[in-house]
């Protein structure tokens, strides 16, 4: 019961994030919405592991968390520079 309620809330929030990804006026709104959707996917995979009593799902959640972060950074860099291998141009703060 507890885990089903949690899963329902996460799914509702995922729908809200998808709506923002469709309507977001700039590409950054869409990246943000997809980043939030990825975080919510991590949550729902972990919760499903508890619902089904299969703790192996937590390993999948770890992998999703890693891929979500790398994907967000990569897409943000690609839309900024049109190039995945762009350097930092001597900026001490880095490229993006």
Binding residues (CB under 8 A) for other proteins: these are: 2, 5-6, 9-10, 12-13, 15-17, 19-20, 26, 28-29, 31-33, 35-36, 39-40, 42-43, 46-47, 50, 55, 58-59, 61-62, 65-66, 69, 72-73, 76-77, 79-81, 89-91, 93, 95-96
Rounded to whole angstroms, how far apart are CA atoms 87 and 66?
23
For the CB of residue 66, give the shortest distance to other proteins in the complex, in Å: 7
Rounded to whole angstroms, how far apart are CA atoms 81 and 78?
5
The helix or strand, by DSSP H or E, that contains position 63, with its residue range, turns out to be helix 57-81
For the CB of residue 52, give the shortest distance to other proteins in the complex, in Å: 13
- What residue has token string 């998808």? 18
Rounded to whole angstroms, how far apart are CA atoms 90 and 3?
49
For the CB of residue 63, give the shortest distance to other proteins in the complex, in Å: 10
């Amino acid at each position: 019961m507890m885990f089903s309620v949690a899963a329902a809330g996460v799914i509702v929030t995922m729908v809200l994030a998808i709506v923002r990804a469709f309507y977001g006026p700039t590409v950054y709104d869409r990246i943000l919405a997809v980043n939030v959707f990825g975080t919510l996917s991590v949550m729902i995979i972990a919760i499903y592991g508890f619902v089904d009593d299969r703790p192996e799902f937590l390993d999948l959640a770890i992998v999703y968390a890693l891929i979500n972060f790398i994907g967000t950074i990569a897409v943000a860099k690609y839309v900024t520079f049109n190039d995945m291998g762009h350097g930092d141009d001597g900026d001490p703060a880095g490229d993006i």
